[in-house]
Protein backbone atom coordinates (compact mmCIF):
# COMPACT_ATOMS: atom_id res chain seq x y z
CA UNK A 1 0.00 0.00 0.00
CA UNK A 2 1.29 3.44 -0.93
CA UNK A 3 0.46 6.39 1.27
CA UNK A 4 2.47 8.77 -0.88
CA UNK A 5 2.76 8.34 -4.63
CA UNK A 6 4.77 10.22 -7.18
CA UNK A 7 3.23 13.58 -7.95
CA UNK A 8 0.60 13.50 -10.69
CA UNK A 9 1.61 16.36 -12.94
CA UNK A 10 -0.10 17.69 -16.06
CA UNK A 11 1.83 20.06 -18.30
CA UNK A 12 1.18 22.08 -21.41
CA UNK A 13 3.70 24.52 -22.83
CA UNK A 14 5.14 26.28 -19.77
CA UNK A 15 2.15 25.58 -17.51
CA UNK A 16 2.10 22.89 -14.85
CA UNK A 17 -0.76 21.52 -12.72
CA UNK A 18 -0.35 19.05 -9.86
CA UNK A 19 -3.21 16.75 -8.91
CA UNK A 20 -3.57 15.85 -5.22
CA UNK A 21 -5.75 12.85 -4.26
CA UNK A 22 -8.06 13.69 -1.37
CA UNK A 23 -11.22 12.77 0.49
CA UNK A 24 -12.78 15.97 -0.85
CA UNK A 25 -12.11 14.96 -4.46
CA UNK A 26 -13.59 11.50 -3.89
CA UNK A 27 -16.68 12.91 -2.17
CA UNK A 28 -17.46 15.38 -4.94
CA UNK A 29 -16.59 13.12 -7.86
CA UNK A 30 -18.57 10.16 -6.52
CA UNK A 31 -21.57 12.39 -5.84
CA UNK A 32 -21.41 13.69 -9.40
CA UNK A 33 -20.45 10.60 -11.41
CA UNK A 34 -20.13 7.47 -9.19
CA UNK A 35 -16.89 5.52 -8.99
CA UNK A 36 -17.59 3.01 -11.76
CA UNK A 37 -18.41 5.82 -14.18
CA UNK A 38 -15.19 7.62 -13.29
CA UNK A 39 -13.14 4.55 -14.21
CA UNK A 40 -15.12 4.01 -17.39
CA UNK A 41 -14.91 7.68 -18.31
CA UNK A 42 -11.13 7.70 -18.05
CA UNK A 43 -10.77 4.51 -20.09
CA UNK A 44 -13.23 5.74 -22.72
CA UNK A 45 -11.60 9.16 -22.97
CA UNK A 46 -14.75 10.94 -21.77
CA UNK A 47 -13.62 14.56 -21.74
CA UNK A 48 -16.33 15.78 -19.37
CA UNK A 49 -15.43 13.24 -16.69
CA UNK A 50 -11.68 13.66 -17.19
CA UNK A 51 -12.06 17.43 -16.94
CA UNK A 52 -13.97 17.06 -13.66
CA UNK A 53 -11.30 14.74 -12.23
CA UNK A 54 -8.54 17.17 -13.14
CA UNK A 55 -10.45 20.16 -11.78
CA UNK A 56 -11.23 18.56 -8.41
CA UNK A 57 -7.67 17.30 -8.01
CA UNK A 58 -6.05 20.69 -8.57
CA UNK A 59 -5.72 23.72 -6.31
CA UNK A 60 -7.02 25.94 -9.11
CA UNK A 61 -9.92 24.19 -10.90
CA UNK A 62 -10.32 26.92 -13.52
CA UNK A 63 -6.64 26.85 -14.47
CA UNK A 64 -6.69 23.05 -14.52
CA UNK A 65 -9.64 22.91 -16.93
CA UNK A 66 -8.02 25.54 -19.15
CA UNK A 67 -4.76 23.60 -19.29
CA UNK A 68 -6.59 20.38 -20.19
CA UNK A 69 -8.56 22.16 -22.92
CA UNK A 70 -5.38 23.59 -24.43
CA UNK A 71 -3.59 20.26 -24.13
CA UNK A 72 -6.39 18.52 -26.00
CA UNK A 73 -6.38 21.22 -28.68
CA UNK A 74 -2.64 20.94 -29.25
CA UNK A 75 -2.11 17.19 -28.83
CA UNK A 76 -5.47 15.71 -29.79
CA UNK A 77 -7.17 12.71 -28.20
CA UNK A 78 -3.77 11.19 -27.51
CA UNK A 79 -3.39 13.66 -24.67
CA UNK A 80 -6.24 11.97 -22.79
CA UNK A 81 -4.84 8.50 -23.44
CA UNK A 82 -1.42 9.57 -22.18
CA UNK A 83 -2.74 10.66 -18.78
CA UNK A 84 -5.25 7.83 -18.26
CA UNK A 85 -3.01 5.73 -15.98
CA UNK A 86 -2.25 8.74 -13.80
CA UNK A 87 -5.94 9.58 -13.53
CA UNK A 88 -6.82 6.01 -12.53
CA UNK A 89 -4.14 6.18 -9.83
CA UNK A 90 -5.59 9.48 -8.66
CA UNK A 91 -9.07 7.95 -8.41
CA UNK A 92 -7.87 4.90 -6.48
CA UNK A 93 -5.90 6.98 -3.98
CA UNK A 94 -8.76 9.45 -3.52
CA UNK A 95 -11.23 6.65 -2.81
CA UNK A 96 -8.83 4.79 -0.53
CA UNK A 97 -8.82 1.68 -2.69
CA UNK A 98 -5.11 1.20 -1.99
CA UNK A 99 -5.97 0.84 1.72
CA UNK A 100 -8.89 -1.50 1.10
CA UNK A 101 -6.90 -3.74 -1.23
CA UNK A 102 -4.28 -4.22 1.46
CA UNK A 103 -6.67 -4.75 4.37
CA UNK A 104 -9.98 -6.09 3.05
CA UNK A 105 -9.73 -7.41 -0.51
CA UNK A 106 -13.05 -9.26 -0.36
CA UNK A 107 -15.14 -6.14 0.27
CA UNK A 108 -15.75 -3.08 -1.83
CA UNK A 109 -16.25 -0.65 1.04
CA UNK A 110 -15.85 -1.63 4.68
CA UNK A 111 -16.20 0.20 7.97
CA UNK A 112 -14.12 -0.46 11.06
CA UNK A 113 -17.02 -2.51 12.41
CA UNK A 114 -16.88 -4.79 9.36
CA UNK A 115 -20.27 -3.92 7.89
CA UNK A 116 -20.76 -3.08 4.24
CA UNK A 117 -21.15 0.62 3.52
CA UNK A 118 -21.90 2.89 0.63
CA UNK A 119 -19.04 5.16 -0.35
CA UNK A 120 -21.04 8.12 0.95
CA UNK A 121 -21.29 6.46 4.37
CA UNK A 122 -17.60 5.61 4.29
CA UNK A 123 -16.63 9.20 3.47
CA UNK A 124 -18.76 10.48 6.34
CA UNK A 125 -17.19 7.95 8.70
CA UNK A 126 -13.67 8.93 7.65
CA UNK A 127 -14.45 12.61 8.14
CA UNK A 128 -15.73 11.76 11.62
CA UNK A 129 -12.58 9.81 12.45
CA UNK A 130 -10.36 12.68 11.33
CA UNK A 131 -12.20 15.54 13.01
CA UNK A 132 -13.64 13.69 16.02
CA UNK A 133 -11.07 11.12 17.08
CA UNK A 134 -7.90 12.61 15.66
CA UNK A 135 -8.78 16.26 16.24
CA UNK A 136 -7.88 17.35 12.71
CA UNK A 137 -9.45 20.47 11.26
CA UNK A 138 -12.15 19.94 8.61
CA UNK A 139 -9.78 21.37 5.99
CA UNK A 140 -7.05 18.90 6.91
CA UNK A 141 -9.54 16.04 6.83
CA UNK A 142 -10.87 16.98 3.39
CA UNK A 143 -7.34 17.37 2.01
CA UNK A 144 -6.19 13.96 3.27
CA UNK A 145 -6.68 10.64 1.52
CA UNK A 146 -8.80 7.86 3.06
CA UNK A 147 -5.66 5.76 3.54
CA UNK A 148 -3.93 8.56 5.44
CA UNK A 149 -6.94 8.99 7.72
CA UNK A 150 -7.35 5.28 8.40
CA UNK A 151 -3.65 4.69 9.07
CA UNK A 152 -3.58 7.63 11.48
CA UNK A 153 -6.80 6.44 13.14
CA UNK A 154 -5.50 2.88 13.52
CA UNK A 155 -2.28 4.17 15.08
CA UNK A 156 -4.27 6.39 17.46
CA UNK A 157 -6.44 3.47 18.58
CA UNK A 158 -3.39 1.23 19.07
CA UNK A 159 -1.78 3.90 21.23
CA UNK A 160 -4.88 4.13 23.40
CA UNK A 161 -5.06 0.35 23.74
CA UNK A 162 -1.42 0.21 24.79
CA UNK A 163 -1.90 2.93 27.39
CA UNK A 164 -5.28 1.88 28.76
CA UNK A 165 -5.05 -1.87 28.22
CA UNK A 166 -8.34 -2.09 26.32
CA UNK A 167 -9.24 -4.61 23.64
CA UNK A 168 -11.42 -4.43 20.55
CA UNK A 169 -14.30 -6.08 22.41
CA UNK A 170 -14.24 -3.58 25.24
CA UNK A 171 -16.18 -0.36 24.92
CA UNK A 172 -14.24 2.85 25.37
CA UNK A 173 -14.76 4.53 28.74
CA UNK A 174 -12.46 7.45 28.04
CA UNK A 175 -12.34 10.36 25.67
CA UNK A 176 -10.00 9.48 22.75
CA UNK A 177 -8.93 13.11 22.53
CA UNK A 178 -8.15 13.31 26.24
CA UNK A 179 -4.61 14.33 27.15
CA UNK A 180 -2.70 11.38 28.58
CA UNK A 181 -0.60 12.08 31.65
CA UNK A 182 3.00 10.83 31.99
CA UNK A 183 1.83 8.64 34.88
CA UNK A 184 -0.74 6.93 32.66
CA UNK A 185 1.87 6.38 29.97
CA UNK A 186 4.25 4.81 32.50
CA UNK A 187 1.48 2.61 33.89
CA UNK A 188 0.55 1.44 30.41
CA UNK A 189 4.16 0.59 29.56
CA UNK A 190 4.52 -1.26 32.85
CA UNK A 191 1.44 -3.36 32.02
CA UNK A 192 2.88 -4.25 28.62
CA UNK A 193 6.24 -5.21 30.14
CA UNK A 194 4.58 -7.33 32.82
CA UNK A 195 2.46 -9.10 30.23
CA UNK A 196 5.47 -9.69 28.01
CA UNK A 197 7.45 -11.07 30.96
CA UNK A 198 4.71 -13.51 31.95
CA UNK A 199 4.48 -14.81 28.39
CA UNK A 200 8.26 -15.25 28.21
CA UNK A 201 8.34 -17.21 31.50
CA UNK A 202 5.46 -19.41 30.38
CA UNK A 203 7.30 -20.31 27.20
HEC-encoded secondary structure of 151-173: HHHHHHHHHHHHHHCCCCCCCCC
Q: Is residue 20 classed as helix, strand or coil in its secondary structure?
A: coil
Q: What is the pLDDT of residues 36-82, one digit of tens each?
A: 999 999 999 999 999 999 999 999 999 999 999 999 999 999 999 99
Helices (H), the chain: 23-33, 35-44, 47-57, 61-75, 78-82, 84-94, 97-103, 119-128, 138-143, 146-164, 182-202
Angstrom distance (rounded) from CA 122 to CA 23 = 10
pLDDT reported for residue 101:
43
Kindly list the domain boundaries of the chain, sorted by start residue.
Answer: 8-95, 119-164
Residue ranges of the chain whose pLDDT lies below 70: 1-6, 98-115, 166-203
pLDDT reported for residue 175:
42
pLDDT reported for residue 180:
44
Q: Is residue 17 classed as helix, strand or coil in its secondary structure?
A: strand
Cα dihedral sign, 87-92-96-98: negative
Query: Using the 8-state DSSP alphabet, how is residue 200 labeled?
Result: H
Amino acid sequence: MRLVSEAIILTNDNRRIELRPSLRAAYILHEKHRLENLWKGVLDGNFTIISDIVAHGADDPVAARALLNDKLASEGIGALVAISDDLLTFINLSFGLNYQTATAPSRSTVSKSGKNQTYQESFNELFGYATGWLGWTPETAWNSTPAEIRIAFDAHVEKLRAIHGSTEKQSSTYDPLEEVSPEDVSAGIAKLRAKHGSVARAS
